[in-house]
Structure 1
């Protein structure tokens, strides 16, 4: 299959490209500037130059593909960049949805578990747990803008789009060039920390998430899964103290 991948310089997008390239698929990767040779070393892909709001670049790439895996996004956990987050995570997704509808292209949209409902202590949440069931992630620019992006995709499904949404947990893995989530690992390794946050997360391997996103695209193309379906791509539920201990043990740090 021929796949257009956004977010190719990020942890998940780069891993998706590597797995697709290794399997011999034809690829187009969206890049905003001149691609870094190190980041794309070993990946056989052509490039579409532009950002998520560049309708011409998006149209040309989508028109030439069977499927899109949309892993690009802006992560900001505070409030100061809400408008910018909405432009990227909502409006950029809208550009892709519109292009996929026009060209009958399948879409795998990468959301996040942060947008989903949270279960109470006596039950287990799934993709369909309503946000008002027991609350949800603490609102911030990232959570609200990613929820808005999900709604754009689900509205596209109502309009005839063939799409699924996948929601990763906290990803760690190789090829985290920026770094993104790997920044936590690096910070924890620098010095002993007397305190950790009281909460936790669902930690998963970015390679597993990439494989699942690719599988979703393949099943969409084969009409083996329903459009509009959402999937949690989670891993091991760990409190931050457990996770930080595992990180420091792996790196021989305190």
Structure 2
């Protein structure tokens, strides 16, 4: 199968391209710059040069590539996220999820591509402390203002994917190489310096996902005919009050101090507080059976320990 990957040099793309080649696919990676083109070649894929926001050039290179499948992983997320600047810091990512999705799916249609897979998020669901979300759970009704444009862009991405009879993979909180939870990642550095507190009761629930498990899910989705949306997360949703102290212990960092919501709101804003206190975990049962996919790291407990042990041994 010829697979066109947009977002080929991102944290997932870097794991996905070699995996697809290993499985015998012909892989074409989209590159916007010379550095990205060099990286795509280094990952063993053909290069297609275009900016996803330039619809004309993108349509031409997709047509030339003649892919059987298109995978949309386009983002431009900063290495360090400032929750008070979400609207600004995610502006290009939001465009890639709206204009970029429109351009890419139009190009795929014109090229006669039959399979479309796009990257969504599993943190979209209406908050609930105890019950993880299924794909049928309502979306967040009243999100913090900084997160509202992100949610709106994801809605548009999913709507366009649905109209193209494609599949949205709603990914969990990514960890592993290149993410903010990597040994040199921004979140880990904050934990190491004692600057990542428990906010309020710490009830925000995370569904984590290792980047290799994200890549494996995409590869499995290429072999399926599933459409709609699937939660791609590990088996162990956990509240911040549970996983953050364990991460600090693994890092031999200071135990996270607890701060009241009102104080955290002054420094991190409404989204920063919601991120730590309101996120809802998700179930992966439908993806497990629909894609015959199982995460290698069924729990963040194993994955965090493995990543940090490897880093310590280098």
- Between the aligned partners of 1:204 and 1:51, the Cα distance in structure 2 is 28
Structure 1 residue 167: Cα displacement: 0.3
Match of 1:30 in 2: 30
Give 1:94 deviation, angstroms. 0.3
In 2: Cα distance, 1:189 partner to 1:124 partner: 26
Q: Deviations over 1:179-219 (max 9, x none)?
A: 55543443234312472232231111111111111211221
Match 2:123 to one of 94, 111, 114: 114
Change in Cα spacing, 1:194 to 1:141, as seen in structure 2 (3 Å) is closer
CA root-mean-square deviation: 2.7
Task: Report 1:1-254 matches (<5 A).
Answer: 1-35=1-35, 39-40=39-40, 43-63=43-63, 64-75=66-77, 78-80=86-88, 84-105=92-113, 106-115=115-124, 117-118=125-126, 120=128, 123-131=131-139, 135=141, 138=144, 139-154=147-162, 157=163, 161-174=164-177, 176=178, 179-180=179-180, 182=182, 183-193=185-195, 195-197=197-199, 198=202, 199-220=204-225, 225=226, 227=227, 229-235=228-234, 236-254=236-254
Query: 2:303: which partner in 1?
Result: none
Q: Cα deviation per residue 1:43-89 (whole Å; 9 max; x = unaligned)?
A: 21111112212224422443321101111124475223575444221
Structure 1 gap segments, 5+ residues each: none
Q: Check the 8 A contact 2:8/2:30 in 1, yes or no.
A: yes
For structure 2, the residue ranges without an aligned partner over 5 or more in a row are 255-314
Cα deviation digits, residues 22-46 of structure 1 (max 9, x gap): 2232111111111358855852111
Residues 240, 123 of structure 1: alpha-carbon distance in 2 compared, 3 angstrom cutoff: closer
TM-score, structure 2 normalization: 0.66
Contact 1:107 1:164 in 2 (8 A): yes
- SS at 1:21 equivalent: helix
- Whole-Å separation in 2 of the counterparts to 1:73 and 1:34: 18
- Residue 308 of structure 2 corresponds to none
Between Structure 1 and Structure 2, how many residues are aligned?
237
**What is the Cα deviation at residue 7 of structure 1?**
1.2
SS of equivalent residue, structure 2 residue 155: helix
CA positional deviation for 1:248: 2.8
Task: Give the 3-state SS of the residue equivalent to 2:5 in structure 1.
Answer: strand
CA distance in 2 between counterparts of 1:90 and 1:103 reads 20
TM-score, normalised to structure 1's length? 0.80
- Alpha carbons of structure 1 residues 208 and 162: separation in structure 2 relative to 1, 3 Å: same
Change (3 A) 1:32 1:180: farther
Query: Secondary structure, in 3 states, of the residue corresponding to 2:34?
Result: coil
